[in-house]
Structure 1
């Protein structure tokens, strides 16, 4: 339960009976999610999960931000963008998903089964784990790497895309569902960085400060005398976040900002009258070319 678009749609589908009921949902908290995610999760628990009898288990492997800056703490590296001494770009290995998301989820699954680590889960005992992956990202769907978990991807089974999930959420009043990701995730695109900067000044200040603090890599490595040879950055431009070109729009974003072209008369006829045929909303002014007025 990442509390993003797809996992929120899964929870709603189960709670409303369109999918099988769930025994529980697990939210792995890195302690550095946007405040909008925590508010959304609270709302889901209050309005959806509890009425449906679905407990939400909140688990954590620690505070990913604090761990990165703590010289006494082992830190699972984030995929930071690296500028090497020779000027060539690089990227650090991503360990954070495994350490702060997957491992605490597996630990909770074992706890729910009644076989916490290091107790061995007996052969034949297994849970079905639903993962919110839609068909437009089916390449992410993988089998479990442990025998006590069988992965299932109900959105793929339904043939749903992310847009289908968004439509469903809007229908149920959850159109404000946020993107679930750590505040300082190096995989953010410019749109996400702008959203943080423009809508949450305190969180923006937080990620800018973190970006500055990790310039030489994680604190424990530096304290051990193994500093990063290059420089680390949150933004793919490998510039300080406060200076990065986050106002640069992608081609898709630019296209979405353009006003729609006016419909031609033929398109109006093909699509039908937008407002329907009502005595109070007759579209008598709809363009009708004379060619279409002639009887066959």
Structure 2
């Protein structure tokens, strides 16, 4: 959408906002720098980088109020589940809303008049039109330009390729539990230092939220980054055999998710919500 705006296909945007969780892959930050240098700056579109902190550091800091990641949990009685996801709201939506309020010159807790709002573009293509939704505040009105253009993901790829941007990486936390095996392999095979980082983090969160642990409310089970609920360093990320699938009690659909990741990601205003997530109390975490 930024390129479409910069090249006049879409109206010129006033701003582009990047919500930084502090733990994106190195390639994402490098790509963002390139977009800013080659696309945004020549078109006079400022890229604003906003943040609520570093999600990795916050997760391991007992003194920090941490918005939980959707960790895979194996309970002591063998029950499987996930902790509730709050990270998208805390590390993406919250800092974006704060910045929008500043741009409107109504910082919190100022009341924003009904006729004051921003038109916010969200990059939903026709392949995922079901994820299009309205913002939850009146001072932000969502628009979906790719749907207006009837563009699919393939159309986006073709356009990016024509601009020399075919290698656009996926933006997501380096250690996001929603990665599929293909993403885990990519990290392992292309960036040993980042792979070591996520393996170390996976081991560190085995007993859950650091703050909850410090308060004496430890996870009644074990937490993992990988859907198989085994340590990331040992997880079957190269392939899932029939025997492994039977041992893990997963069907073909779950095996597909293991390889390709969760279909719906965690971009602002497009996450799948918490309908299938168990509450923290189910696993003994502090509320």
Q: TM-score, normalised by structure 2?
A: 0.83
Change in Cα spacing, 1:62 to 1:251, as seen in structure 2 (3 Å) is closer
Displacement of 1:140 in angstroms is 1.1
Task: Identify the match of residue 182 of structure 1 among 154, 173, 186.
Answer: 173
Other-structure match for 1:159: 150
1:64 equivalent to 2:64? Answer no
- Return the offset for 1:119: 1.0
The structural deviation recorded for 1:157 is 1.0
Secondary structure at the aligned position of 1:110 is classed as helix
Q: Aligned ranges for residues 211-250 of structure 1 at < 5 Å?
A: 211-248=202-239
Contact map agreement 2:119 2:143 (CA 8 A) in 1: yes
Partner of 2:283 in structure 1? none
Higher relative contact order (CA 8 A, sep 6+): 2
- Show structure 1 runs of 5+ residues with no match: 1-9, 255-296
Going from structure 1 to structure 2, the CA distance change for 1:246 and 1:133 (only over 3 Å counts) comes to same
Partner SS for 1:57: strand
Partner of 1:120: 111
Q: Does the CA-based 8 Å contact 2:180-2:257 persist in structure 1?
A: no
1:163-200 deviations in whole A, cap 9, x for unaligned?
11111111110011001100000000000000000001
The SS at the match of 1:242 is helix
Provide closer, same or farther for how the CA distance between residues 224 and 74 of structure 1 changes in structure 2, counting only shifts above 3 A.
same
Distance 2:157 2:225 in 1: 28
Aligned residues: 245
Tell me how far 1:118 sits from its aligned partner: 0.9
Q: Are the equivalent residues in 1 in contact too, given 2:117–2:138 (CA < 8 A)?
A: yes
Computing the radius of gyration over CA atoms, which structure comes out larger, 1 or 2? Answer: 1
The separation in 2 between residues aligned to 1:225 and 1:253, in whole angstroms, is: 33
Superposition pairs for residues 80-91 of structure 1, below 5 Å?
A: 80-91=71-82
Q: Which runs of 4+ in 1 moved over 3 A?
A: 249-254
Q: Distance in 1 between matches of 2:74 and 2:157?
A: 37
Please give the alpha-carbon distance, in whole angstroms, between the structure 2 residues aligned to 1:30 and 1:161: 27
Distance in 2 between residues matched to 1:186 and 1:252, nearest whole Å: 12
Alpha-carbon distance in structure 2 between the residues aligned to 1:170 and 1:65? 33
Spell out, residue by residue over 1:262-288, the C-alpha distance to the aligned partner (whole angstroms, 9 max, x if none): xxxxxxxxxxxxxxxxxxxxxxxxxxx
For normalisation by structure 1, the TM-score amounts to 0.81
Q: Secondary structure at the match of 1:147?
A: coil
Report the secondary structure of 2:233's partner residue. Answer: coil
1:197 equivalent to 2:160? Answer no
Q: Secondary structure at the match of 2:94?
A: helix
RMSD: 1.5
